[in-house]
Structure 1
Amino acid sequence: MTTAPLSPSSRTTVTRGRNRAVEDRAELHALLADALIAHVGVDVGDHPVVLPVAFAVDLDGPDQGGTLYIHGSVAARWLTRSEGSTVCVTITEVDGLVAARSAFHHSMNYRSAVVIGAARVVDDPDEKARALSLTVDHMVPGRAATLRPHTRKEIAATSVLAVPLHEASLKIRAEGPVDEPEDVDAGVWGGVIPIRRIAGAPVPAPEAVDSRVPDDVVRRSEQLA
């Protein structure tokens, strides 16, 4: 696992709001562990697209800086055509709504990462199976070990895109409103509305023979409660 600083290139060097730029790669890893959805931007030829995707991370993966995995159907044109192309993956978590004393200074508290790199379509069946299991475990840690192995048909029907984590940037805002002194003196309320993700109680599928919730699902639900 690399511990090299973030933003190793001009493409990922933060120029706007540099006071919120974070160079500690461990902070990027923490955000990737927390987030559930990424957005990938690709050029499909006649237009760009930005799509929400489930993802997984292997910090000891084969790509420089570790590997970010994105999966989709083999019929997904954007994914299969991304081989060798530069893609941009963004991951954002909103942690609070910042209510300032003026409209101009309203903001959000957030953690936001940008990863740029040459995409690699995973062809090796073992790496692909591992990437799919990591994706399951990213949603519910420990879940993959409780399931039957992937079939060859399932692996063949799924495409996996690997993006190096080497070239990345991270910005974090975690503070209250930044107001003009005269607006503070005016006495208007300012502050933060914290936001966090909360999971409800697990709901068994209607056809479930055993309604007991497995330990991995219980742990995940409690973690997000």
Structure 2
Amino acid sequence: MTTALSPTRRTTGTRESARAVSERHRMMALLEDGLVGHLGVVLSTGPTDGKAGATHPVVLPVAYAVDPAGPDAEGTLYVHGSTGAGWLRSAIETDMCFTVTELDGLVAARSGMHHSMNYRSAVIIGRARSVVDPDERSHALDLIVDHMIPGRSATLRAATRKELAATAVLALPLREASMKERAGGPVDDPADIDPAVWAGVIPLRRVALAPVSADDAPGPVPADVRRRAEDLA
């Protein structure tokens, strides 16, 4: 894996170039921190009632996981879904866009124009492949579970043949990617700076509450779940 992000024409921003992040390890850290990604694809609908088919974009929230040493260029990002999902079939047929954003703060300035947000955001574009190798599929599904709760997959029963048959796994190369971030306070125009008008940042962070056991799980909360809740507290 290279140490630098080298965005292509499709992943090179046209504005706020100062916010661009060039270190690949920082994007990988963001992907590790994030829990929900958004996958954008163009769906194709076949002809019906004598009418020609059409296309329309859709953006879906998905769970994901990353393997920095995966078999694809610069590592692999995995997502999964139902084999019957239309978006999943479309994602294999054409390029897709995957984004992860973490919101770190609300930035209040002295004008509406300069209100902003502190954030970290990654964009990955590429052609996904369907994972058919049984070992890689199992590895990918374990990674997705462990991305939610590290170590969880080792405590679970193995997936059944029926479950595996109903689940599709996609792998997206991490080569064509970019990242931007904003941090710090508001940037007001000099003429707007007035001590009588408040400006600053409302910091934000994701916080986990104490685990809530299912009604049919009367035993103690397992160590992996407690650790995850504590890490996010």
**TM-score normalised according to structure 1 size:** 0.96
Structure 2 stretches of 5 or more lacking a match?
45-54
Runs of 4+ in 1 over 4 A off after TM superposition: none
CA-to-aligned-CA distance 1:69-106 (integer Å, 9 cap, x gap): 11111111110232242100010000000010111100
**Quick check: 1:71 aligned with 2:71?**
no
Q: Secondary structure at the match of 1:148?
A: coil
Counterpart check, 1:202 vs 2:211: yes
SS in 2 for 1:185: coil
Residue 163 of structure 1 is matched in structure 2 by 172
- Cα displacement (A) at 1:129: 1.1
Cα distance in 2, alignment partners of residues 124 and 196 from structure 1: 38
Q: Is the CA contact (8 Å cut-off) linking 2:3 and 2:25 kept in structure 1?
A: no
Are 2:105 and 1:106 equivalent residues in the alignment? no
Q: Give me the CA root mean square deviation.
A: 1.1
Contact 1:40–1:89 at 8 Å: present in 2 too?
Answer: yes
Residue 16 of structure 1 corresponds to: 15
Shift of 1:128: 1.0
Whole-Å separation in 1 of the counterparts to 2:33 and 2:62:
15
Give the deviation of 1:150 after TM superposition.
1.7
TM-score (norm 2): 0.93
Return 73-82 or 170-179, whichever deviates more. 73-82
Is residue 7–residue 14 contact of structure 1 (8 Å, CA) maintained in 2?
no
Q: Deviations over 1:172-225 (max 9, x none)?
A: 001100001121135311000000000000001001142x00000000000000
Q: Work out which of the residue numbers 214, 221, 228 in structure 2 matches 1:220.
A: 228
Answering whether residue 84 of structure 2 is matched by residue 85 of structure 1, we say no
Deviation (angstroms), 1:32: 0.3
Residue 3 of structure 1 contacts residue 26 of structure 1 at CA under 8 Å; is this kept in 2?
no
Aligned to 2:158: 149
User: Equivalent residue for 2:57?
Assistant: 48
SS at match of 1:83: helix
Partner in structure 1 of residue 47 of structure 2: none
User: Identity over aligned residues, as a percent?
Assistant: 62
- AA of the residue aligned to 1:90: T
Q: Which residue of structure 1 aligns with residue 32 of structure 2?
A: 33
